[in-house]
Amino acid sequence: MKAFDLIVVGAGIVGAACAAAAAHEGLTVAVVEPGPVGGGSTAAAMGHLVAMDDDPAELALSAYSLRLWERYAMLPEIEFSRCGTLWVARDERELAAVPARIARLAGAGLRAERVDARQLYELEPQLAPGLAGGMRVPDEAVVYPPRMARHLLDQAGAAGAQAWLGRRVVELLEHGVRLDDGTRLAGPVLVATGVALPQLLPELPLYPRKGQLAITDRYPGLIRHQLLELGYADSAHGDAERSVAFNVQPRPTGQILVGSSRESGVADREVSLPLLWQMLQRTFAFLPILRGLQGIRIWTGLRPATPDGRPYLGPLPGRRDVWVAAGHEGLGVTTALGSARLIVDGLLGRVPAIDPAPYLPARMLGGAAA
């Protein structure tokens, strides 16, 4: 039986980032992935690198991760495009909340600026008339997530990690895993299987939150920023079973990616037409020009969601040598790199750059956070 310092289960962007970080530290690493690399939630994701500031823990992890992303900004294959994020205020009430958000972002070291109505239309002339202004976060970017997952896995491989692609972990053993072909690998295990987490760790609550995206043909220059409504967090983090929000992204190709929606407790991958109607109508209300654009593809994806909206990062009490990195919901692409650092610091017994306590899986198991 082969022995490793760490067996990473899952090569989505989170698992791949953990494998790369661990291998970089000199650990001997195994990665097991049954499907394509970055083929799950990673492939379905928008790839927006964004700081969400409505939860301090989420803000700390995303701000930390955004700094780590900078070293990949010049990597052509991940299609890093620093378009910035422009949060759009519909009215004076939404605009009035902007200074507090700017202050929170500044507290995490992120630059943001208030935008009045005139500036808003200079930045994005296609926006519907009558909007109040907004907030611009100029350093945020978009990437192509499956390529980043592959790049990270390649990095891990270059540092000596071994990958079992096309193989599935069917069982967690006392100190290792068993694969579907009977192979046994020994060592501490990191479960980074996203929405599939309950298959290996049923004790951790995690459920799919389905999203739908549409992408258009190429319209270069039509919009310049990732555009979101300031009310986005209400949709994204509210408790509604189904919600939509204005969330549109210019791809470097000139294609426009149109989101976003959330549906709780739905595990099928069918496109939901009523929700698509709602999502597109919401989009047209902000960007009427999109009505006439050619949509070339609609797809769905499942976000791995936890009850409190925070990911699981750390050791799992009650199991020997089992760690978890999963449950990032819609922020897995943004926070993969920071998550990987927290995991590796934890494995090596180091003091991490940010407080790991809010993300420890122990919080869900009735015990006090370690």
CB of 354 to another protein, least distance (A): 31
CB of 118 to another protein, least distance (A): 17
Cβ distance to another protein smaller for residue 253 or 264: 253
CB of 346 to another protein, least distance (A): 30
Residues 168 and 178: their CA atoms lie apart, in Å, by 9
How far is the CA of 211 from the CAs of 192, 214, 261, in angstroms? 20, 10, 5
Cβ distance to another protein smaller for residue 110 or 333: 333
In the sheet that holds 242-250, the strands lie side by side as: 113-116, 133-137, 85-89, 226-229, 242-250, 255-264, 207-218
CB of 165 to another protein, least distance (A): 9
Cβ distance to another protein smaller for residue 38 or 361: 38
CB of 243 to another protein, least distance (A): 13
Amino acid in the structure at residue 262 = R
On whether the CB atoms of residues 189 and 176 are closer than 8 A, the answer is: yes
Question: Which residue ranges make up the site for another protein (CB under 8 A)?
Answer: 35-40, 43, 88, 90, 128, 130-131, 146-147, 150, 166, 214, 216-218, 229, 246, 253, 258, 269-271, 273-274, 276-278, 280-281, 283-286, 290-300
Cβ distance to another protein smaller for residue 39 or 84: 39
Cβ distance to another protein smaller for residue 147 or 341: 147
Residues 131 and 120: their CA atoms lie apart, in Å, by 8
78: phi then psi, degrees, rounded to nearest 5: -90, 0
Residues 265 and 143: their CA atoms lie apart, in Å, by 28
Residues 216 and 111: their CA atoms lie apart, in Å, by 30
Cβ distance to another protein smaller for residue 12 or 311: 12
Q: Name, in order, each residue with C-beta under 8 angstroms of 70's C-beta and a sequence gap of 6 or more.
A: none
CB of 246 to another protein, least distance (A): 8
Cβ distance to another protein smaller for residue 33 or 58: 33
Smallest CA-to-CA distance from 22 within 155, 205, 119, 120 is with: 155
On whether the CB atoms of residues 348 and 64 are closer than 8 A, the answer is: no
CB of 271 to another protein, least distance (A): 6
Residues 42 and 56: their CA atoms lie apart, in Å, by 24
Residues 349 and 352: their CA atoms lie apart, in Å, by 9
Output the six-digit token pair for 200. 């290996």
Angle at CA 281, nearest 5°, toward 278 and 283? 110
On whether the CB atoms of residues 221 and 30 are closer than 8 A, the answer is: no
CB of 314 to another protein, least distance (A): 28
CB of 297 to another protein, least distance (A): 6
- Of the CA atoms within 13 Å of residue 141, those in its CB half-sphere come to 23
**Helix H or strand E encompassing 31:** strand 29-33
Cβ distance to another protein smaller for residue 205 or 219: 219
Cβ distance to another protein smaller for residue 166 or 367: 166
